[in-house]
Amino acid sequence: MNSSLPGQPIVSVIVPTFNRANFLSRAISSILQQTFSNFELIIVDDGSTDNTAEVVKEFTDPRIKFLPLGKNYGGSYARNQGIKAASTELIAFLDSDDEWLPDKLELQIKRLQESDDPLATVVYCQGYECVEGQQKIPSLALHEGDVFDNLLRGWLPPTTSLFMVKRSALVEVNGFDASLPSFQDYDLWLSLASANNHFLAVDKPLIIRYFHNQQIRGNLAAKSTGLEIFINKWGEQMKQRVGYVEYWKFISLKISIIQLIKIGKYVEEGKKPIAFYYAIGLLKYLPWSSNMLIKGIVLSILGNQGYRATFMMKSKINQLINGVKMFQY
């Protein structure tokens, strides 16, 4: 594939952003450095009050389209506006605080073009995660074809930045559900899969996902409300198709994550006894809450610094053990 030749855009890259001017340049640069060059880049400014517009103006590439919305509507609405503005059949998403590796578009287009599955409209990939400067590849099982039941069991590629989707499939399911303050991407993949859209995977990390304090996962109200709406929408199908045990496992895992966020907030406020109370409350969701239970107890007793130190030490010990095993092998 000669992907360096200019021509009509084949992919529309949609980057929604809200007050992330400090991250946006990295995201834009990673798109402009793609080995596949026939794309348009639609940056949807969801009512930013920082210098987002000035950051975009620093890039003079003619493939860039800037779409300011004037006020803050939310990520789902912003992505939907990008989909409406797109001029191509293939849509790729990048969160404005993440970045792509150079061959992301090329390898995903190739995977889609070479597939003999006529129902394939979605292609995703592996990705790196970067937390406090530490980069790793998380364990993500790859599923292809009809992935509806996998999604109902809780399988979820963790960010929209991994995905490329045919625009016609997105339009058919009405895009992202703007009523959801969280779980929007999960809801979209379920909607696509339930409409008989098949998924493809590239078994290679093609993005870097960064974790920081501005992200929605830190918004407790959004997480709780989004989970409630999501369960009302998909809960019955979970029970019917994959069983009550899988349904309760899903609920337990998601509530445990929300509880850990709540524990962290109480620790930040200096309310360790209350944080510990909520940590012990995770016993209700065993065995699926065991990981969050341990983290919650450590966090509520040792605080944020002790928590980070403990798990960084654990990570280094695991790396050492794995290194010894490789040496022995």
Right CATH number for 11-211 from 3.30.230.70, 3.40.1180.10, 3.90.550.10, 1.10.10.10?
3.90.550.10
pLDDT over 60 (residue 214): no
**Residue pair 6/37 in contact by the 8 Å Cβ criterion:** yes
Phi-psi domain of 6 (left: phi exceeds 0; alpha: psi -120 through 50; beta: other): beta
Name the percent of the chain lying above pLDDT 90: 81
Domain ranges of the chain: 11-211, 243-328
Of 303, 227, 221, 302, the closest CA to residue 262 belongs to 221
Confidence band of 2 (pLDDT split at 50, 70, 90): very low
**φ, ψ at 45 (rounded to 5°):** -90, 110
Identify the residue whose tokens are 């940590």.
Answer: 279
User: What is the number of alpha carbons within 13 Å of residue 210 lying toward its C-beta?
Assistant: 18
- pLDDT tens digits along 244-298: 999 999 999 999 999 999 999 999 899 999 999 999 999 999 999 999 999 999 9
The answer to which of 21-25, 184-188, 305-309 has the lowest mean pLDDT is: 305-309
Of 181, 133, 106, 193, the closest CA to residue 157 belongs to 193
- pLDDT tens digits along 216-248: 445 788 889 999 999 999 999 999 999 999 999
